[in-house]
Amino acid sequence: MIRTGLMLVFVGLLSLGTGVTGWTSDDQGSRLMIVSPTQGAVIKGDSVEVRYKLSKGTEATHIHCYVDGEYQKGFKGVVKGLTRGSHEIKLVAASHDHDALGFEAAVTIEVE
C-alpha cells in the first residue's frame, strides 16, 4: 500500500510541466490520462485531436468520449463540430461490455 502511494506521488511529480492534464487510476491497474489538448488550450477551427493514454489493467478495454456531457458516438480520436466558446472534453474508461468503470480524465478548452 505504501509502495503504491509512493509510486503515485512519483508519477505525479514526473508529470508536472509535461502537459499531462489529468489522470486517474483504479485498483485493477487501469490508468487513464489526457495527453492533449492541455487544460485551457485555445483551439482554432472546429475540431481537435484528443490524445490519451489508457493502461487497460484487468477491466478497461477502451474509452468513451463526452463533450459538454454529450456522448461522442464513433469517437476515433478527433472531436469535430465544435462551436466557439468553452467546452469540456471528458474521457471515461469502459469495460468490454461498455460499462463505465468509474475513472475518467477531463480538460476544458476554448474554441476561437
**Domain boundaries, given as residue ranges, for the chain:** 20-111
Q: Give mean pLDDT, residues 10-19.
A: 39
Mean pLDDT of the chain: 80
Contacts for 85 with CB less than 8 Å, ≥ 6 apart: 110, 111
Strands 51-55 and 48-49, sheet pairing: unpaired
Q: All 3 cell numbers of residue 95?
A: 469495460
| Listed residue (108, 12, 19, 101) closest to 54, CA to CA | 101
Architecture of domain 20-111: Sandwich (2.60)
pLDDT tens per residue, range 24-71: 444 456 789 999 999 999 999 999 999 999 987 778 889 999 999 999
Percentage of the chain modeled with pLDDT above 70: 74
